[in-house]
Amino acid sequence: MMKQELYLRLGELEEFARFLNRLKGEMEYHRLPLAELCERICEKERGILYQILLDTVRSVRESGSVAFYDVWKQSFGKYEAKLHLTGEEKTWMKDLFSYSHASLEAQLNEMEYYYEFTNKRISELRTEVQGKGKVYITFGVMSGIMLLILFS
């Protein structure tokens, strides 16, 4: 994977972690239905994740009785190709609201699990980005030395 792709993936994971943290806080404080909480969060944010959420919230409001999780999966599917995440991360993110019918405490526990897992992935990806950066620098220096030797 190219370094630019890694940075894009890292940015999407960081956006997801911020969203999870904010959603968990809103759930604890406001105790509103999931669609309302997501709408509140989307009002001030931009990015592909928030576009998926906004699409989900609008579809839930229009249909009235469709489960949030089912609409989330459909909305996620529309935007999935635009994401730079791995297949595993996409599948995992798509399952985010599978607990939406559970109690508030269970939802909060699930949010915490997702948040910790996302932060672990972010940490691993940062290490990978740093390692690739060193490889690219080394390759650049070696190429420069080779050109210097060839044209000397």
pLDDT tens, residue by residue, 61-86? 888 767 888 889 999 999 999 999 99
Contact 84, 5 (CB under 8 A): yes
Note the pLDDT of residue 100.
76
Note the pLDDT of residue 83.
92
Q: In 64-103, where does DSSP find H-type helix?
A: 68-79, 87-94
**Could you tell me which of 53, 45, 38, 122 has the C-alpha nearest to residue 94?**
53
Mean pLDDT of the residues in the chain: 83
C-alpha separations of 92 from 2, 18, 98, 137, 145 in Å: 23, 16, 10, 34, 45
Contact 77, 5 (CB under 8 A): no
Q: How confident is the model at residue 23 (pLDDT cuts 50, 70, 90)?
A: confident
pTM of the predicted protein model: 0.76
